[in-house]
């Protein structure tokens, strides 16, 4: 058996183990919901931590094997979590109960209405998520996550005036 054959056999074995681990992976929505809690966000650093933790948990608790595997990569390369935020959210969203969905929506709305305004990156993430859901025809959402007026206000808060104008119209 040559070196290539041994490497190929090891790769196949690792793939089988990885798939078996994911099959046993149980999505823990309680952990996901706990990370979405914005009640502890009082200063900008808290908001950055909130965004980082929610991004990571959306991948770690994701039922998609590919996105779940990316959760370990985000520990080494953090920008990957923010790049995958929208799709990870949509896949997790489909597996939540109505009460859990409402809890997440309430937290997003609390972020929008917070006394100490969240950093621009947090508001832009929420705005981009809403836009992603609106433009992505693959996922049928029974209702829009946010009203246009709410999105217009968020867009104004983060100086995205073109988006604000679009939502006001």
Q: Note the pLDDT tens digit of each residue in 131-167.
A: 888 877 655 554 456 788 888 888 888 888 888 888 8
pTM value is 0.78
CA angle 161, 130, 69 (to 5 degrees): 125
Q: In the predicted model, what is the mean pLDDT of residues 70-87?
A: 91
- Give the mean pLDDT of the chain: 81
Q: How many CB atoms lie within 10 A of CB 27?
A: 15
By residue range, what is the domain housing residue 101? 3-168
**Secondary structure of the chain: what % helix, strand, coil (to 5)?**
70, 0, 30
Judged by DSSP in three states, 62 sits in: coil
Instruction: Tell me what percent of the residues of the chain surpass a pLDDT of 90.
Output: 34
Q: CA quadruple 138, 155, 82, 104: dihedral positive or negative? A: negative
Inter-CA distances, 127 with 3, 73, 145, Å: 50, 25, 11
Residue 126 has pLDDT above 80, yes or no: yes
- Top pLDDT among 145 and 95 is at 95
Structural domain count of the chain: 1
pLDDT of 1: 52
Burial class (CB in 10 A: 0-12, 13-18, 19+), 131: middle
């Amino acid at each position: 058996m040559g070196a290539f054959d041994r490497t190929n056999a090891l790769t196949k074995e690792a793939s089988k183990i990885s798939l078996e681990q994911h099959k046993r992976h149980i999505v823990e929505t309680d952990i996901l919901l706990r990370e979405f809690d914005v009640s502890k966000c009082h200063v900008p650093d808290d908001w950055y931590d909130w965004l980082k933790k929610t991004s990571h948990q959306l991948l770690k608790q994701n039922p998609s094997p590919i996105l779940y595997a990316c959760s370990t990569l985000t520990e080494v390369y953090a920008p990957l979590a923010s790049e995958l935020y929208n799709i990870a959210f949509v896949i997790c969203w489909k597996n939540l109960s109505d009460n859990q969905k409402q809890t997440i929506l309430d937290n997003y709305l609390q972020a929008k209405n917070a006394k100490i305004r969240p950093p621009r990156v947090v508001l832009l993430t929420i705005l981009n998520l809403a836009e992603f859901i609106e433009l992505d025809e693959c996922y049928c959402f029974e209702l829009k996550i946010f009203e246009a007026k709410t999105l217009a206000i968020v867009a104004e808060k983060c100086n995205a005036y073109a988006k604000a104008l679009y939502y006001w119209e």
